[in-house]
């Protein structure tokens, strides 16, 4: 009798960010789907991405995605709006078909925008994002497609990512949040929901919430992205069947700094082992 060879599913879910921000997404994803194996990569060495050119963001993101694929990820989520806005399309259209035809890369901007309608009654939504995300105008373009009646005001979060990555003191952080929120609300007084359109900002959501007027809701992406990813995996059997059904998470950073590793543990909210990885950037 002919033997049928069973292939053991061994695939992982890759989660990529420029640094610490993706941990807020990873936390929600692993809570919702504790049945898979996850590989987190933060490119802390090169963060922030938000003040870089589109070309640089593309090259950095692609190098990170390649590392995740080479280390067992079958599907990778860009848990970074800046990378989603400036690199996702090019990777999906130009790289995957040639180099990784069976793998997938997903972004987080469209899933966020798709869920927006339910969060605002005034129809005026503020978005805090990095300079490079604001410049890409991806949020406005996608809002126009998915929620054409809504007014979107995109405001740069200034130095916030830098302050988080460098663990600057609370005073500086609060002053920058006040500055950024002041600018946003000056531009539109009818805003009743603010999307944290940079995953790093979810790490300081509490402080942002305290500074915003009480009638304005703060929308974090983690829960939204986790639900959309679960739905995607559910609908795509060709991906689901190759994912390993055993929970584990491994954490990686391109930074060699012990402080960065401590920050990763603090923001993930657990005592985790983080390893430093090196790879070539194009
Ligand atoms: N966490 C990233 C985002 O969601 C970007 C932070 C950065 O500037 O590197 O946009």
The whole-number average pLDDT for the span 62-77 is 97
The size of the chain, in residues, is 282
**pLDDT score recorded for residue 46:** 97
Any idea which residues carry the catalytic annotation? 80, 198
Q: Crossing angle for the helix pair 22-32 and 258-268, nearest 10 degrees?
A: 40
Q: Is 224 touching ligand 1 by the criterion CB < 6 Å?
A: no
Helix (H, G, I), strand (E, B) or coil at 101: coil
Find all residues with CB under 8 Å of 164, minimum gap 6, and list them. 20, 21, 173, 200, 203, 204
Provide the pLDDT for residue 117: 76
Would you state the pLDDT for residue 211? 97
Mean pLDDT confidence for 183-199: 97
Q: Is the pLDDT of residue 53 over 90?
A: yes
Residue 1: what pLDDT? 56
Of ligand 1's atoms, which has the minimum distance to the CA of residue 197?
Answer: 4
- Max intra-chain CA distance, the chain: 76
Residue 199 Cβ inside 6 Å of ligand 1? The answer reads: yes
Confidence of residue 10 (pLDDT cuts 50, 70, 90): confident
- Give kind and range of the element (H or E) at residue 12: strand 12-17
Q: Where are the beta strands (DSSP E) in 180-273?
A: 193-196, 217-219, 248-253
If you measure from the C-alpha of residue 162 to the centroid of ligand 1, how many angstroms do you get, rounded to a whole number? Answer: 10
Q: Domains plus CATH for the chain? A: 12-107+223-276 (3.40.50.1860), 110-220 (3.40.50.1860)
pLDDT for the residue 7: 59
* pLDDT, tens only, 215-249: 999 999 999 999 999 999 999 999 999 999 999 99
Phi, psi (rounded to 5 degrees) for 15: -125, 120
pLDDT for 118:
80
pLDDT at 56: 98
Angle, CA 142 vertex, CA 42 and CA 194 arms, to 5°: 70
User: Which residues, 6+ apart, have CB-to-CB distance to 233 below 8 Å?
Assistant: 33, 75, 239, 240, 243
CB distance 17 to ligand 1 below 6 Å: yes
CA 133-134-135 angle, to 5 degrees, is 90
């Amino acid at each position: 009798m002919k033997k049928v060879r069973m292939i053991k599913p061994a695939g992982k879910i890759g989660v990529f960010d420029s640094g610490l921000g993706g941990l807020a997404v990873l936390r929600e994803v692993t809570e919702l789907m504790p049945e898979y194996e996850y590989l987190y990569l933060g490119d802390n060495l090169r963060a922030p991405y938000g003040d870089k050119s589109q070309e640089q963001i593309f090259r950095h993101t692609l190098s990170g995605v390649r590392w995740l694929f080479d280390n067992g990820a079958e599907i990778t989520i860009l848990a970074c709006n800046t990378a989603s806005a400036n690199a996702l399309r090019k990777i999906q259209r130009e790289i995957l078909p040639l180099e990784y035809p069976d793998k997938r890369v997903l972004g987080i901007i469209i899933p966020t925008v798709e869920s927006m309608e339910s969060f605002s009654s005034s129809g005026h939504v503020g978005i805090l994002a990095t300079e490079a995300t604001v410049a890409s105008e991806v949020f406005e373009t996608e809002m126009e497609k998915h929620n054409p009646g809504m007014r979107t005001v995109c405001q740069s979060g200034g130095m916030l990512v830098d302050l988080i990555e460098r663990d600057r003191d609370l005073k500086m952080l609060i002053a920058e949040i006040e500055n950024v929120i002041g600018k946003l609300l000056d531009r539109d007084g009818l805003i009743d929901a603010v999307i944290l359109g940079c995953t790093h900002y979810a790490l300081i959501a509490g402080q942002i919430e305290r500074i915003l007027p009480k009638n304005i809701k703060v929308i974090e992406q983690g829960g939204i992205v986790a639900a959309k990813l679960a739905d995607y995996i559910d609908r795509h059997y060709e991906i689901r069947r190759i994912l390993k059904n055993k929970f584990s998470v491994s954490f990686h950073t391109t930074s060699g700094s012990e402080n960065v590793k401590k920050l990763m543990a603090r923001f993930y909210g657990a005592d985790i082992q983080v390893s430093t990885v090196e790879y070539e950037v194009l």
